[in-house]
DNA sequence: TGGTGTGAATGCCTTCACAGCG
DNA sequence: CGCTGTGAAGGCATTCACACCA
């Protein structure tokens, strides 16, 4: 292992409170670094990295500075090293067992999506209430009745849950996920759901993304995300 | 029509430059208002609306003030009226013809997703390069070869494009969408794509959303979106 | 009384600019 | 010389607090 001496502790975690926007950009940095690595790029400067993503060089450096010192003056950042560090920060250096609830069109698409496992998110089980689906295997994942959620979450040590059920069922499903001891929820149902503070929640509303786009087209502002 | 007299012009557009975050919240307001309306709620105050979404009352009022005056002192906001106004601002009072490019798992799920049409986004055509798919109808939408994109975008007056192809093909598809005269792109491929400034761009990276979640779980911050 | 709209104050994030290092 | 890390400055966005209205 590279035993560099004076360099801040290899950032095990976030120091104080990191702006949400910074964490968001971290994901962009990681994605870009992974592309660069695939192309064989070894090092990159903050300005080059920023340019590719539409951020300033100062922003890149400040963002990374929240978590430690990763750069080499005169050189830039070593892509592999930095990617590794960001993975550790985001948690994608570990495996995250995931449960999917709701095996409709969207749910099935998510089960088949390769991008998740590449970042360490692995589906352990899927759940639904439709008797047609229960007992089947989809993309290699077994579908269980929703009632078996607590049992299987615990036995498979599942930490994250994805909600892909109709809006009307989303809050009830969220409640059951929370009861089952899940730590974070990604909600695709187009409703606001509430969870206790010790559970993390991220929502994605596909129609809302299109709304942001139509607004942007109508008022012709610059690009968004 | 309700002929109220002194009240700012019914906000045809955004005045100067509206923060992106405000536009984002507008979508949340609209979604919540639509729920409220379904429950028969007539009016709501900024504090009630904010509470349901985790925003402060001042924030709600400020956000709306960017676009005009919608509230009634002592009463709050009339849900129907406000929803209507926000739809006009976001552009979802009109119909937006949409083209889907990439009819894999995710693409098919999007074609079948009801939530889009409810907000005025209607798929006019889908495109792929897989001979297996071309000529078929999926969820009532015809799948064409990608080469026919310019022709069909123009004949159907398609304004928005959704990219649901592998990362490696995304930029090329984006270029073709732009050439075809599309005005906005929603990109689901996990890559940064670039488009000319007159074209709007919104990106959604599903794995990135899970990364935000795992970070949040690891560092146990409060909920995100 | 209950609630909006809005200037003023606050606080946070981004950008600047430069010392320091390889 | 090139490029990082970072205090200081600047610019936005959010919150406060209050005049005003029904």
Bridge partners, A186 (sequence order): A162, A202
Is B134 (CB) below 7 Å from strand C?
Answer: no
Collapsing DSSP to helix, strand or coil, B207 comes out as helix
Same domain, B122 and B191: yes
Q: Note the pLDDT of residue A17.
A: 87
Is A24 (CB) below 7 Å from strand C?
Answer: no
Same domain, A103 and A55: no
Q: Which of B174, B210, B212 to mutate to test the interface with A (most CBs of A within 10 A)?
A: B210
Cβ atoms of A202 and A185 closer than 8 Å: yes
Q: Which of these three, A45, A71, A90, is where a domain ends? A: A90
Same domain, B70 and B142: no
Q: CATH code at B59? A: 1.10.10.10
Q: Which of A98, A166, A207 to mutate to test the interface with B (most CBs of B within 10 A)?
A: A207
- For the record, the structure tokens of A38 come out as 């695939």
- Do the domain assignments include residue A215? no
Judge whether A174 is closer than 8 Å to chain B, CB to CB: no
Same domain, A143 and A78: no
Bridge partners, B97 (sequence order): B122
Same domain, A81 and A177: no
Q: What is the pLDDT of residues B76-86, one digit of tens each?
A: 999 999 999 99
What is the count of structural domains for chain B? 2
CA to C1' distance (Å), from B55 to D15: 11
Judge whether A150 is closer than 8 Å to chain B, CB to CB: no
Report the first-to-last Cα separation within chain A, whole angstroms.
37
- Do the domain assignments include residue B9? no
- Do the domain assignments include residue B158? yes
Judge whether A210 is closer than 8 Å to chain B, CB to CB: yes
Distance between CA atoms of residues A137 and A148, nearest Å? 16
CA to C1' distance (Å), from B192 to D11: 27
Q: CATH code at B169? A: 3.40.50.720
Same domain, A115 and A155: yes
3-state helix, strand, coil in chain B (%, to 5): 45, 20, 40
- Do the domain assignments include residue B217? no
Is A65 (CB) below 7 Å from strand D?
Answer: yes
Same domain, B179 and B104: yes
Same domain, B32 and B119: no
Which of A36, A34, A37, A57 is CA-nearest to residue A45?
A57
Domain of A27 in residue numbering reads as 20-90
- Do the domain assignments include residue A175? yes
Same domain, A131 and A188: yes
- Do the domain assignments include residue A5? no
- List the pLDDT tens digit at each of the 225 positions of chain A: 333 333 444 444 555 689 999 999 999 999 999 999 999 999 999 999 999 999 999 999 999 999 999 999 999 999 999 999 999 999 999 999 999 999 999 999 999 999 999 999 999 999 999 999 999 999 999 999 999 999 999 999 999 999 999 999 999 999 999 999 999 999 999 999 999 999 999 999 999 999 999 999 999 865 555
Judge whether B223 is closer than 8 Å to chain A, CB to CB: yes
Which value, to the nearest 10 degrees, does the dihedral of the CA atoms of residues B35, B41, B45, B50 take? -20
* Strand C, nucleotides covered by protein (CB < 7 Å): 1-7, 12-17, 20-22
Same domain, B105 and B65: no
A6: Cα within 13 Å, side-chain hemisphere:
0
Same domain, B101 and B178: yes
Q: Note the pLDDT of residue B29.
A: 98
The phi-psi region of residue B120 (left if phi > 0; otherwise alpha if psi is between -120 and 50; otherwise beta) is: left
- Would you say residue B117 has pLDDT above 90? yes
Same domain, A61 and A143: no
DSSP string, B92-152: TTS-EEEEEE--SHHHHHHHH-HHHHHTTEEEEEEEES-TTTTT-EETTEEEEEGGGHHHH
Q: Which of the residue ranges A163-167, B4-8, B44-48, B139-143 would you say has the lowest mean pLDDT? A: B4-8
- For the record, the structure tokens of B32 come out as 């919540």
Residues from chain A contacting residue B28 (CB–CB below 8 Å): 192, 208
């Amino acid at each position: 292992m590279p035993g560099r001496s004076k360099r801040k502790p290899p950032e095990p975690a976030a120091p104080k409170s990191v702006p949400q926007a910074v964490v968001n950009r971290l994901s962009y940095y990681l994605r870009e670094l992974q592309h660069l690595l695939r192309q064989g790029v070894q090092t990159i400067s903050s300005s080059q990295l920023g340019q590719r993503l539409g951020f300033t060089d100062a922003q890149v450096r400040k963002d990374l500075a929240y978590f430690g010192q990763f750069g080499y003056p005169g050189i830039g950042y070593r892509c592999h090293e930095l990617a590794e560090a960001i993975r550790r920060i985001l948690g994608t250096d570990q495996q995250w067992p995931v449960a999917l609830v709701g095996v409709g069109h969207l749910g099935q698409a998510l089960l088949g999506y390769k991008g998740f496992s590449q970042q360490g998110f692995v589906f352990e089980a899927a759940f639904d209430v439709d008797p047609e689906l229960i007992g089947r295997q989809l993309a290699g994942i077994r579908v269980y009745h929703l009632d078996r959620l607590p049992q299987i979450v615990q036995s498979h040590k599942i930490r994250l849950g994805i909600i892909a059920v109709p809006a009307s069922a989303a809050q009830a499903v969220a409640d059951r996920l929370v009861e089952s001891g899940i730590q974070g929820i990604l909600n695709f149902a187009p409703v606001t759901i509430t969870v206790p503070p010790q559970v993390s929640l991220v929502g994605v509303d596909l129609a809302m993304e299109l709304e942001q786009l139509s607004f942007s087209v109508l008022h012709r502002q610059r690009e968004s995300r």
